[in-house]
């Protein structure tokens, strides 16, 4: 599903209905990954999609081992959540405490037919065998940076810039956008309030 020369929208309800027809690839669980650069709107999109699916969601912000740990996240995602699901075992992950800069408690993921995972790296190749669907969201860099600074504060600008370097390296190696099932414009607003705008292919 991709857009055309004009803006094309899709509702979360329609996407949820389509996802319900996709076969599970992580044991009995359909895993939907929402990937794309920071500040593009992944968290908002994932929350609304999870509500339409009545599905739990996991944000990779809880898994990244600090500001320099992006490359480690896909492996942790497979080890802690995706591989256990594929083996019929409960999924759980260890939450990273950003203030203390160390891993804290383990958190269990509720069993469900569908699981939404959002965050940079969720669509990496090592995760691909377990994914039923991959969403890519993007927005212009100035907008993404503004969103990040508004959310986290000006003091985090150097960290954002450092993170952006890791993102570009990962996306170039993984070719995540090219492998996505759906391309979403994270800078556009859907007037209906219940859908999202697709990118041109």
pTM of the model: 0.92
Band of residue 149 on the pLDDT scale cut at 50, 70, 90: confident
Q: How far is CA 156 from CA 3, 145, 152, in A?
A: 34, 11, 6
Is residue 150 pLDDT above 70, yes or no? yes
What mean pLDDT do residues 117-129 have? Answer: 98
What mean pLDDT do residues 175-193 have? Answer: 89
Which has more confidence, 88 or 193?
88
- Average pLDDT of the chain is 92
Is residue 192 pLDDT above 90, yes or no? no
Alpha carbons within 13 A on the beta-carbon side of 92: 8
Band of residue 21 on the pLDDT scale cut at 50, 70, 90: very high
Radius of gyration of the chain from its Cα atoms, rounded to whole angstroms:
16
Band of residue 152 on the pLDDT scale cut at 50, 70, 90: confident
CB atoms within 10 A of CB 162: 12
Under 8 Å CB-to-CB from 97, ≥6 apart: which residues? 103, 104
What's the pLDDT tens digit per position in 33-77? Answer: 999 999 999 999 999 999 999 999 999 999 999 999 999 999 999
Q: Which domains does the chain have, with CATH numbers?
A: 8-59+113-198 (3.40.50.300)
The answer to whether residues 197 and 7 touch, using CB atoms and an 8 Å cutoff, is: yes
Which has more confidence, 131 or 6?
131
Band of residue 2 on the pLDDT scale cut at 50, 70, 90: very low
Q: Exposed, middle or buried by CB within 10 Å (0-12, 13-18, 19+), for 105?
A: exposed
Which has more confidence, 167 or 155?
167
Query: How high is the pLDDT of residue 3?
Result: 37
Q: How far is CA 99 from CA 103, 140, 153, 172, 189, in A?
A: 10, 29, 15, 30, 34
Query: How high is the pLDDT of residue 160?
Result: 79
Is residue 200 pLDDT above 90, yes or no? no
């Amino acid at each position: 599903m991709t857009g055309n020369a004009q803006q094309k929208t899709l509702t979360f309800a329609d996407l949820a209905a389509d996802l319900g027809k996709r076969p599970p690839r992580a044991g009995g669980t359909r895993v939907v990954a929402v990937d794309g650069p920071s500040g593009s709107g992944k968290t908002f999109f994932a929350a609304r999609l999870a509500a339409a699916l009545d599905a739990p969601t996991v944000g990779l912000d809880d898994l990244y081992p600090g500001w320099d740990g992006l490359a480690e996240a896909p492996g942790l995602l497979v080890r802690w959540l995706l591989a256990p699901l594929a083996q019929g075992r409960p999924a759980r992950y260890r939450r990273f405490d950003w203030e203390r800069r160390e891993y804290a408690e383990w958190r269990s993921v509720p069993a469900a037919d569908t699981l939404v995972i959002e965050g940079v790296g969720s669509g990496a190749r090592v995760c691909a065998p377990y994914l039923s669907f991959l969403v890519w969201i993007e927005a212009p860099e100035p907008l993404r940076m503004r969103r990040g600074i508004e959310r986290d504060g000006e003091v985090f600008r150097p960290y954002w810039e450092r993170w952006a370097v890791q993102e570009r390296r990962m996306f170039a190696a993984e070719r995540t956008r090219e492998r996505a099932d759906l391309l979403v414009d994270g800078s556009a607003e859907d007037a209906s309030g219940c859908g999202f705008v697709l990118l041109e292919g």
